[in-house]
Amino acid sequence: MDAGAIKALFDEIRRTTPTLDVLVNNAGEVRSGDLNEDSVWEYEYKNILLSAMRMSAEFLSMPSSHLRKIINITSIYGNLGTGDPEYLQYSAFKAALASVTATLGKSAAPHTLVNAVAPGYTETPAWTGASSETKEACARATLIGRFVRPEEVAHSVIFIAENDALAGQVLTLDGGTSLKGLA
């Protein structure tokens, strides 16, 4: 999403809504690419990191008299030591978003709390083309023996939105995958 589209979106929000309490930054189409693929670096940077920063900046520019929340959706691949070499750029920018969560959390508090959710293997349309063997291996990589369900990710976002004691945290929701090691 480009800067003009984000500004237009927030201009419309300002026209129609007196306040905005929660922003969820949830971008991150995964693209594979080797270290030298500049187009993948640029795409993932804009899609994951820059879009979240622009959205957050617009959100923070809105006047508010009460506590607000920014919730970034990172990934288990963005957690230290769990990046996927096949998705180097995606992993790097999800890690950067986790770092920004903590750093922005320091500057935005106490009026805005910034946190993140780092899902693991989650049942989404992104898995449509994956083989059954790949899906089964990923399910076995969890302690719960299955993929995380989208509604479980949604519940974690709601938990963070309702909790006024979380600040600068990344909640890993991976069914125990990070305890076993990635498939």
Question: What was the pLDDT predicted at 126?
Answer: 87
Number of Cβ within 10 Å of residue 70's Cβ equals: 24
Per-residue CA distances from 1 to 5, 37, 63, 136, 157 (Å): 6, 21, 23, 34, 22
pLDDT, tens digit, for every residue of 136-157? 999 999 999 999 999 999 999 9
In the chain, the percentage of residues whose pLDDT exceeds 90 is 79
* Stretch 48-74: mean pLDDT: 96
* Predicted confidence (pLDDT) at residue 183 exceeds the cutoff of 60: no
Q: Which CATH code fits 3-180?
A: 3.40.50.720
The domain locations on the chain are 3-180
Q: pTM of the entire structure?
A: 0.93
Question: What was the pLDDT predicted at 85?
Answer: 85
H helix and E strand count, the chain: 7, 4
